[in-house]
């Protein structure tokens, strides 16, 4: 880590030098993510695609060293200091960092993605609506359990906005039906605990016949536990995001379906939107500043096409 | 010593009774089996860390070792298609190598164990993240290693193999610590390194051995953990596990000043910690 | 003389099961030096704790300059001018001398800021140090001082408190001969200034040199008081142990035999430019005298493989040997009884039996497993042979008295086959009765053909026990003495580097 820190410090210095040197000819637009994950590799592909169409800009995607608000904040401050033209950020803790976001927003145009910060002075949000995604998942649940049933949810951080909104969307759709979301178990993003939560549910609540993985890694953990205990197919599984195991389960038919977001579009459209904005064209910004990129429901029928597209974008 | 362990056992029974009272399903066979599995996973490396603590040192890097060795293990199997027996041995060897490195730095370079292993904690996770470019390492869908999975994640009569491995290791380490010359030396070095040296004990070798044993057990535990979660995000896999190990050892009667502790205590400490965390 | 400074009458103190003090009365006049002697457990420390206000007596009364107390508190004791210089020094070695003297009551300036007024502190400390004839300044770091100098700091601290009575508990146990002389001179100066001193020591000839009066305690009772003129070594011992002691020197059963250990130009890193050559014969006790810091302990450490020797050759029974670690020394039968037994000799919280077996565990194993039975048997055997006083060989070594701890250290080596044993200060902190036992054990070993090198700063011991003596000065041997030329004077001359011719 020490080395990483040093490397990144050296990198930041080098970055600021190249930037100040190239500031006259090329403007830099940066996509700041909230931490390392495969998910952002897809967004990176979108950013690359946008780069091809925007040869007059430098487009970059930046990872904070750790998924901590303070570290992300420092990264943005450094970027502002080195003279970037605009920033799009997936803020780690948008509710409590309004002031800090505004500080960045006061100096360069600031866009949000993935998690919105509506109280801040951000220009626009481009991304999913987690409530909508939750509704999509709710539809999948209804479809999987026409006779009704009891579902258990699994999530990393139950208190986080994205989790709450997804759960809210699910509840909205299943309200009045015979499908019930009994509870949602959190694991603080510890995979061992995530898996144990599933095991515990299986042993403690034999009447559960459907499981929902709200974070990308929850669904594979559900899949593994069910596989180990021979309950695949007996308990319906609905997931979020596109973990390879999740997609495999969908293809196999043991996972009903998964709701995916479209980070590729966020990267691609977001960058183009920022470039336009920097040039003075504000026509792309709607009144409320919300640009919702709808998610996609992946089921057995379209999983292969989706996987092929994903592979083409991320290259693996 | 015996009294302390007995007290711990009593505490476990009390905690167990309370948990069972609140949630009667705690005692269901499946739940007990799941709990045993976790005790096995955490216990394996807690014993190693306990050995280091008995010498008066500390080992803070096991959590990061899990991330590093885990991603390498998964990569060996899924990307390089290495035979799993070979991969298994390579990872344990890598654990032993990291332990030797710590032992060397502590005994020959006279660095503080806290500093050496804290650097390990930071560096190994950094390497793991750099190696995977921060991506999650996991098996492709449907990949399966039946023999390996049976060995490290299987269950026999409902008893998880991780727990069986833990008990076997605990018995071996118990004999080593309490009945062998090496164990006697370990305590002597932890109690009073200088007096141990004056009694002709090669104290550097003994201390380094404790780190090597700890590294080897961490390598073994890394495999069990990797096969349990089957996917590793290097930024978070095994975070703070070193603290669980230290807590289990200290609960089990190991003194952070060195020279005290027992394998039975560490085993009971792990069990207590796992029961409390439910 | 008017009222005595301190008067204790009929002081008793009982601990569960032990009568620590039984009706002890004593008085101390202004400017009087009183020696307080007695074996360990005779009640000296309890008496001192009562004077320091740490322990309350069950019975009896205390008068200080006529004012009566039934018991003192710590604050009252220090207000009355009673100060302690403990055996184990209570100094902060990361601070300088002045800061140590004024620790806890630093002069302040700057009003509410309470800054330390180090100028006043240094000036005042300097005065005290001059009074004591100290050769260091108030700004010196305590870590840089020798033990004797640190002791002076403690005394300066006592004086700065305006002490009227200074109680010194074993002040000379870690001092060299010349440092001891200087301390005795400081005591004389204190006396001249009207300060009373209680001097507690096992080193009786020092008590003999400085005390005006000697009080002897045994089993919690005052068994005697010797006035000037009556004070003598033998008289003190008689009172202390209730019988007279044989002369220290025990002649060997046979003349020494072949050379066991030969040192040729051996040098250590402390004195790289000086080298030691000596021959140690089977069946003799060679005393190694000298000042602390003359390189004796360093030589012992090099012979035992703790440190690397810098140059020269060591031969065992005529064959050159290289010793890279204590393990190698032990395998060859060269053993060391170290100077600081609590730090280097014993595992204090470990049982006696386990301490004894530690260097030779291979002996007590079968198929790599420890066998507790033979381990305990051997410990039991050693306990009988060496007369180690303990309830059980399974009790922790730290529960034993100093002398018995030293016997445990010895038992470690006697369980193996010793060829050469190096004793570094064998009887430090050991009381008179046990001292004699250790000397007898040493003689018995040498009579069995073991070669013994005894490093000692205790003049009485080195003269009384050795068959032959080598004196070291700054890393080299300044002279050898045969028994007929043993005298304090000769040892001192050689120790400070003079020749005898």
The answer to whether residues A236 and A274 belong to one domain is no
- The answer to whether residue C484 sits within a structural domain is yes
**8 A C-beta contact, residue A65 and residue B163:** no
Give domain status of residue A99, yes or no: yes
Final residue of a structural domain among C178, C213, C241: C241
**Domain extent for C280:** 260-333+421-501
Report the percent of chain A where pLDDT is more than 70. Answer: 91
> Nearest CA to CA, how far is B204 from chain C (Å)?
11
State the pLDDT at residue A172: 92
CA distance B1 to C398: 18
Q: How many domains does chain A have?
A: 2
Average pLDDT over residues B83-93: 94
Which residue bears the tokens 């004012």?
A: C67
Q: Give the Cβ contact number of residue A14 at 10 Å.
A: 10
pLDDT surpassing 60 at residue A207: yes
Query: C422 - beta bridge partners?
Result: C336, C453
The answer on C362 and C321 residing in a single domain is: no
Cα–Cα distances in Å, from B19 out to A4, B13, B23, B25? 44, 10, 6, 9
B199 touches C326 (CB < 8 A): yes
Query: B191 to chain C: nearest residue by CA?
Result: C347
**H or E stretch including C383?**
helix C372-386
**What whole-number distance in Å separates Cα of residue C318 and Cα of residue C279?**
11
Question: Is residue A304 situated within a structural domain?
Answer: no
Pairing of strands C6-15, C59-64: antiparallel
**Range from A16-25, A57-66, B147-156, B188-197 that averages highest in pLDDT:** B188-197
* A134 and A256 co-located in one domain: yes
Task: Give strand ranges (E) for C343-500.
Answer: 365-366, 369-370, 420-424, 451-455, 468-473, 476-482
Residue C221 pLDDT: 87
Is the domain of C407 the same as that of C437? no
Residue range(s) defining the domain that contains residue A182: 130-260
CATH number at residue A216: 3.40.50.2300
Q: If you average pLDDT over every residue of chain A, what do you get? A: 85
Burial class (CB in 10 A: 0-12, 13-18, 19+), C373: exposed
- For chain B, what is the radius of gyration of the CA atoms? 19
Task: Compare all CA atoms of chain A with the CA of B123 and give the residue at the minimum distance.
Answer: A1
Confidence of residue A12 (pLDDT cuts 50, 70, 90): low
Percent of chain A whose predicted confidence (pLDDT) is above 90: 28
The verdict on a CB contact (< 8 Å) between B233 and A2 is no
B36, B40, B134: which to substitute to probe chain A, counting the most A Cβ within 10 Å? B134
Indicate if A270 and A253 belong to the same structural domain. no
Q: How confident is the model at residue A233 (pLDDT cuts 50, 70, 90)?
A: confident
Report the residue of chain A nearest B224, measured CA to CA.
A192
**Same domain assignment for residues C266 and C327:** yes
Q: Does B46 have pLDDT greater than 90?
A: yes
As beta bridge partners, residue C420 has: C334, C451
Q: Cβ–Cβ of B38/A247 closer than 8 Å?
A: no
E strands in C181-253: 196-200, 213-218, 221-227
In a domain, C116, yes or no: yes
Among chain C residues, the shortest Cα distance to B193 is held by C344
Q: Are C472 and C304 in contact (CB under 8 A)?
A: no
Tell me the β-bridge partners of C278: C263
CA distance A237 to A248: 13
Closest residue of chain B to C371, computed from CA coordinates:
B179
Touch between B and A (at least 3 CB pairs under 8 Å): yes
- Total tally of structural domains belonging to chain B: 1
**Do C410 and C468 fall within a single domain?**
no
Whether residue C248 lies inside any domain: the answer is no
Whether A148 and A218 map to the same domain: the answer is: yes
Instruction: Decide: C263 and C451 in contact? Cβ < 8 Å.
Output: no
The band of A256, judged by pLDDT with boundaries at 50, 70 and 90, is very high
Q: Give residue C2's pLDDT.
A: 58
User: Is C401 within a domain?
Assistant: yes
Q: Rounded distance, CA B272 to CA B12, Å? A: 5
Name all chains with 3 or more CB-CB pairs below 8 Å to chain B: A, C
Q: Report DSSP state, residue C112.
A: G
Residue A311 counted as domain residue: no
Give the nearest partner residue to B141 out of A202, A203, A248, using CB atoms: A248
Distance CA A202, CA A208 (A): 8
Residue C25, token pair as written in the block: 């009365």
**Within a domain: residue C181?**
yes
pLDDT band at B219 (very low <50, low <70, confident <90, very high): very high
Same domain assignment for residues C129 and C192:
yes
pLDDT tens sequence across A273-285: 888 888 888 887 8
Distance from CA of B3 to the nearest CA of C (A): 17
Residues sharing a CB contact under 8 Å with residue C491, sequence separation 6 or more, in sequence order: C177, C289, C459, C462, C463, C469, C471, C481
The answer to whether the Cβ–Cβ distance between A200 and B31 falls below 8 Å is yes
User: Residue A20 pLDDT > 50, yes or no?
Assistant: no
Q: Which helix (H) or strand (E) holds C115?
A: strand C115-116
**Domain check: are C39 and C71 in the same one?**
yes
* Residues spanned by the domain of B184: 2-276
CATH assignment at residue C458: 3.40.50.300
Cβ pairs bridging B and C (under 8 Å): 69
CB contact under 8 A, B198 and C330: no
Closest residue to A191, CB basis, from B38, B122, B231: B231
Strand partners, C344: none
Query: Which of B229, B234, B237 has the highest number of chain A CBs within 10 A, making it the mutation to test binding with A?
Result: B229
d(CA C415, CA C402): 20
Task: Report the domain count for chain C.
Answer: 3
CB–CB of A179/A211 below 8 Å? no
Interface of B with A in 169-228 (CB under 8 A): 225, 228
Structural domain contains residue A315 = no
Which residues, given as ranges, of chain C have pLDDT below 70? 1-2, 17-18, 40-41, 87-89, 174, 243-247, 501
Interface of B with A in 144-163 (CB under 8 A): 153
Nearest to A61 by CA among C142, B134, C345: B134
The CA distance from A153 to A134, in Å, is: 12
Is B198 at the interface with chain C, CB within 8 A?
yes
Q: With cut-offs at 50, 70 and 90, classify the pLDDT of residue B167.
A: very high
**Residues of C in Cβ contact (< 8 Å) with B191:** 347-350
Which chain B residues have a beta carbon less than 8 Å from that of C327?
A: 200-202
The pLDDT, as a whole number, for residue A5 is 53
C500 and C377 assigned to the same domain: no
Residue C246 lies in a domain: no
Average pLDDT rounded to a whole number, residues B45-71: 95
Cβ atoms within 10 A of the Cβ of A54, count? 19
Q: Which residues of B touch A247 (CB under 8 A)?
A: 141
- Say which residue the tokens 């005894």 belong to: C454
Q: Are C90 and C155 in a shared domain?
A: yes
Query: Per DSSP, what are the bridge partners of residue A108?
Result: none
Distance CA A272, CA A59 (A): 10
User: Is residue C255, in this structure, part of any structural domain at all?
Assistant: no
B211 min Cα distance to partner chain C (Å): 21
Return the HEC string of chain B: CHHHHHHHHHHHHHHHHHHHHHCHHHHCHHHHHHHHHHHHHHHHHHHHHHHHHHCCCCCCCHHHHHHHHHHHHHHHHHCCCCCHHHHHHHHHHHHHHHHHHHHHHHHCCCCCHHHHHHHHHHHHHHHHHHHCCCCCEECCCCCCCHHHHHHHHCEECCEEHHHHHHHHHHHHHHHHHHHEHHHHHHHHHHHCHHHHHHCCCCHHHHHHHHHHHHHHHHHHHHHHHHHHHCEECCCCCCCCHHHHHHHHHHHCCCCCCCCCCCHHHHHHHHHHHHHHCC
Task: Give the count of beta carbons closer than 10 Å to the beta carbon of residue C161.
Answer: 16
Rounded to 5 degrees, φ, ψ at B254 are: -75, 135
Do A122 and A170 lie in a common domain? no
d(CA C107, CA C115): 8
Asked if B153's CB is within 8 angstroms of A203's CB, the reply is no
For position A22, what pLDDT does the model report?
Answer: 44
Q: Six-digit token pair at B161? A: 């193999």
Do A245 and B122 count as a contact with CB atoms less than 8 A apart? no
Contact residues for A214 (Cβ-Cβ < 8 A; gap 6+): A153, A154, A155, A156, A163, A166, A167, A184, A240
Residue B65, pLDDT score: 95
- C60, C8 Cβ separation under 8 angstroms: yes
Same domain, yes or no, for C298 and C341?
no
Residue in A195, A196, A203 nearest the CB of B30:
A203
CA distance C159 to C495: 32
A60, A166: one domain: no
Biggest alpha carbon–alpha carbon distance for chain C = 77
Task: Tell me, yes or no, whether C38 and C77 share the same domain.
Answer: yes
- CATH code of the domain in which B19 resides: 1.10.3470
The residue assigned the tokens 């230290």 is: B246
**Positive or negative, the Cα torsion across B224, B226, B228, B234?**
positive
Q: How far apart are CA C85 and CA A56, in angstroms?
A: 83
Asked if residue C250 belongs to a domain, the reply is: no
CB A230 within 8 A of CB A209: no
* Cβ of residue B187 closer than 8 Å to a chain C Cβ: yes
pLDDT band for B124, please (50, 70, 90 cuts).
Answer: very high
Q: Are the Cβ atoms of B231 and A220 closer than 8 angstroms? A: yes
Using DSSP bridges, classify how beta strands C67-69 and C59-64 pair: parallel, antiparallel or unpaired. Answer: antiparallel
Q: Enumerate residues 53 to 112 of chain A having a beta carbon within 8 A of any beta carbon in chain B.
A: 63, 66-67
Name the residue in chain B with its Cα closest to that of C364.
Answer: B181
A98 found inside a domain: yes
Residues of C in Cβ contact (< 8 Å) with B195 = 343-347
* Residues in CB range of A285: below 8 A, 6 or more apart: A123, A124, A273, A277
């Amino acid at each position: 880590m020490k080395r990483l820190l040093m490397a990144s410090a050296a990198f930041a210095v080098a970055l600021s030098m190249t930037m100040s040197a190239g500031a006259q000819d090329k403007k830099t637009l940066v996509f700041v993510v909230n931490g390392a994950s495969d998910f952002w590799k897809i967004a990176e592909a979108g950013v690359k695609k946008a780069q091809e169409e925007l040869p007059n800009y430098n487009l970059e995607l930046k990872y904070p060293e750790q998924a901590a608000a303070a570290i992300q904040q420092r990264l943005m401050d450094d970027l502002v200091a080195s003279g970037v033209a605009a920033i799009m950020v997936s803020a780690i803790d948008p509710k409590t960092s309004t002031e800090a976001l505004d500080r960045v927003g006061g100096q360069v145009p600031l866009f949000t993605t993935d998690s919105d910060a509506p109280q801040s002075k951000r220009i626009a949000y481009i991304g999913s609506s987690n409530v909508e995604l939750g509704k999509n998942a709710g539809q999948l649940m209804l479809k999987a359990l026409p006779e009704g049933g009891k579902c258990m949810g699994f999530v990393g951080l139950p208190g986080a906005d994205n989790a709450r909104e997804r759960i809210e969307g699910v509840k909205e759709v299943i309200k009045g039906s015979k499908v019930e979301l009994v509870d949602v178990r959190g694991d603080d993003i510890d995979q061992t605990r995530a898996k144990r939560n599933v095991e515990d549910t299986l042993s403690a609540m034999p009447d559960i016949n459907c499981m929902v993985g709200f974070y990308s890694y929850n669904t594979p953990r559900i899949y593994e536990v069910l596989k180990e205990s021979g309950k695949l197919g007996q308990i319906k599984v609905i997931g979020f995001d596109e973990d390879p195991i999740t997609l495999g389960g969908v293809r196999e038919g043991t996972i009903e379906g998964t709701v995916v977001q479209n980070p590729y579009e966020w990267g691609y459209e977001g960058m183009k939107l920022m470039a336009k904005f920097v040039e003075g064209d504000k026509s792309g910004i709607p009144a409320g500043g919300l640009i919702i990129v709808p998610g996609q429901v992946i089921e057995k029928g379209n999983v292969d096409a989706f996987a092929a597209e994903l592979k083409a974008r991320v290259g693996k | 010593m015996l009294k302390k362990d007995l007290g711990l056992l009593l505490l476990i029974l009390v905690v167990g009774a309370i948990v069972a009272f609140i949630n009667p399903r705690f005692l269901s066979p499946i739940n007990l089996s799941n709990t045993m599995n976790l005790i096995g996973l955490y216990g394996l490396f807690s014993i190693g860390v306990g050995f280091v603590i008995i010498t008066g040192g500390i080992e803070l890097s096991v959590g990061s070792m899990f991330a590093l060795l885990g991603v390498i293990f998964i990569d060996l199997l899924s990307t390089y298609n290495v035979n799993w027996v070979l991969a298994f041995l390579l990872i344990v060897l890598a654990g032993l190598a990291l332990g030797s490195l710590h032992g060397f730095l502590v005994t020959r370079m006279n660095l503080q164990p806290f500093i050496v292993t804290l650097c390990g904690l930071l560096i190994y996770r950094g390497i793991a993240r750099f190696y995977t470019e921060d991506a999650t390492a996991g098996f492709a869908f449907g990949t399966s290693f039946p023999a390996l999975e049976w060995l490290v994640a299987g269950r026999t009569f409902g008893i998880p193999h991780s727990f069986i491995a833990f008990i076997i290791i605990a018995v071996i380490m118990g004999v080593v610590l309490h009945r062998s010359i090496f164990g006697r030396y370990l305590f002597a070095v932890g109690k009073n390194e200088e007096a141990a040296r004056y009694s002709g004990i090669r104290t550097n070798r003994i201390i380094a051995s404790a780190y090597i044993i700890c590294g080897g057990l961490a390598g073994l535990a890394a495999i069990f953990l990797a096969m349990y979660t089957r996917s590793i995000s290097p930024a978070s896999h095994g975070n703070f596990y070193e603290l669980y190990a230290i807590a289990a050892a200290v609960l089990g009667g190991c003194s952070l000043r060195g020279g005290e502790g027992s394998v039975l205590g560490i085993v009971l400490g792990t069990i207590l910690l796992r029961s409390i965390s439910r | 003389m008017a009222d005595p400074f301190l008067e204790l009458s009929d002081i008793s103190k009982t601990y569960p099961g032990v009568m620590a003090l039984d009706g002890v009365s004593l008085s101390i006049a202004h400017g009087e030096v009183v020696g307080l002697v007695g074996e360990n457990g005779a009640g000296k420390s309890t008496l001192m704790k009562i004077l320091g206000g740490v322990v309350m007596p069950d019975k009896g009364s205390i008068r200080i300059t006529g004012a009566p107390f039934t018991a003192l508190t710590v604050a009252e004791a220090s207000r009355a001018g009673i100060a302690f210089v403990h055996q184990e020094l209570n100094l902060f070695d990361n601070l300088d001398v002045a800061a140590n003297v004024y620790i806890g009551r630093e002069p302040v300036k700057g009003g509410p800021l309470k800054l330390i007024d180090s100028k006043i502190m240094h000036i005042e400390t300097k005065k005290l140090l001059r009074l004591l004839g100290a050769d260091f300044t108030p700004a010196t770091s305590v870590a840089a001082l020798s033990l004797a100098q640190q002791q002076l700091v403690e005394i300066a601290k006592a004086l700065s408190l305006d002490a009227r009575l200074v109680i010194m508990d074993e002040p000379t146990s870690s001092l060299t001969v010349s440092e001891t002389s200087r301390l005795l001179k400081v005591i004389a100066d204190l006396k001249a200034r009207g300060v009373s001193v209680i001097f507690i020591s096992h080193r009786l000839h020092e008590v003999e040199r400085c005390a005006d009066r000697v009080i002897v305690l045994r089993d919690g009772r005052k068994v005697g008081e010797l006035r000037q003129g009556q004070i003598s070594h033998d008289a003190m011992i008689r009172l202390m142990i209730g019988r007279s002691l044989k002369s220290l020197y025990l002649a060997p059963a046979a003349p020494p035999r072949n050379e066991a250990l030969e040192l040729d130009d051996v040098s250590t890193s402390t004195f790289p430019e000086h080298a030691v050559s000596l021959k140690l014969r089977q069946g003799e006790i060679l005393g190694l005298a000298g000042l602390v810091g003359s390189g004796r302990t360093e030589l012992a450490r090099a012979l035992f493989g703790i440190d690397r020797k810098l140059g020269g050759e060591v031969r065992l029974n005529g064959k050159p040997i290289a010793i890279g670690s204590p393990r190698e020394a032990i395998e060859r039968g060269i053993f060391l009884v170290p100077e600081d037994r609590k730090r280097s000799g014993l595992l204090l919280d470990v049982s006696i039996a386990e301490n004894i077996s530690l260097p030779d565990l291979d002996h007590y194993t079968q198929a790599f497993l420890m066998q507790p039975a033979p381990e305990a048997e051997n410990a039991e055997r050693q306990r009988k042979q060496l007369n180690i006083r303990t309830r059980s060989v399974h009790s922790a070594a730290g529960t034993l008295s100093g002398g018995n701890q030293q016997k445990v250290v010895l038992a470690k080596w006697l369980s193996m086959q010793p060829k050469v044993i190096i004793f570094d200060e064998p009887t430090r902190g050991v009381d008179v009765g046990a001292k004699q036992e250790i000397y007898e054990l040493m003689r018995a070993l040498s009579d069995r053909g073991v070669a013994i090198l005894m490093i000692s700063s205790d003049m009485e011991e080195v003269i009384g026990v050795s068959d032959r003596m080598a004196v070291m000065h700054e890393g080299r041997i300044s002279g050898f003495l045969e028994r007929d030329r043993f005298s304090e004077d000769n040892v001192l001359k050689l120790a400070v580097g003079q020749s005898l011719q």
